[in-house]
Amino acid sequence: MIDRRKLQQITNERRKAVHREHPRSAELYARAKGSLLSGVPMNWMKKWAGAFPVFVARAKGAHFTDVDGREYVDLCLGDTGAMTGHSPEIVAEAIAKRVREGITLMLPTEDSLWVGERVETAIWIAVLAVCVDSDGCEPVAIRIAREITQRSKVLVFNYCYHGTVDESFATIHGGVVGPRRGNIGPPVNPRRRRG
């Protein structure tokens, strides 16, 4: 049998310890609730265990340091960090150079041609479309797949992150596909057929 009172006591002690050990993160989270939805830049960041997420000060390689000076091995290595680690020097230098020469120009640069040619050579893609981030790529990929297959349905793994397109915020409730509980929106139920 699980002693629920003991479990609640341990939980309460751990919550207090997290606040003691991460006072700056707690302070920033309280402040962020005034300007950021759920106190975080992206809703999924709120879903970490605990009363608040730790706030990151800096990251390098497979490590990051929070605003309270605690160091971590980043076992998530989300998105770009998973490919190269955080802040690799060669990438940081290339980004700094590009920023000094201008960004978000709304016109192509010679760099974009260089990237397209390298990608085409590396993975034999005939034509490349560039998106700013995964959330921007997802709707493009879905539209292209629907055009090629002439099918409207999208297959996603239950409760995995697939970007922010409505159809990807789906889960199974009683054997029926529907929106995730606690998700803001989605404005279109993923169970609804398109086309």
Q: In sequence order, what are the residues at sequence separation of 6 or more whose Cβ sits closer than 8 angstroms to the Cβ of residue 69?
A: 57
Residue 32, H or E segment: helix 23-32
Q: Is the pLDDT of residue 182 over 70?
A: no
Query: CB neighbours of 72 closer than 8 A, spacing ≥ 6?
Result: 63, 64, 65, 66
pLDDT at 42 over 70: yes
The number of beta carbons lying within 10 Å of the beta carbon of residue 43 is 15
- Between CA 155 and CA 74 the distance in angstroms is 29
For 139-180, write each residue's pLDDT tens digit: 888 888 899 999 988 887 777 766 677 777 778 888 888 777
What is the b/e burial string over 160-193, where b = at least 16 CB atoms within 10 angstroms of the residue's CB? eebbbbbbbbbbeeeeebebbeeeeebeeebeee
Write down the domain spans for the chain: 1-53, 89-123, 134-179
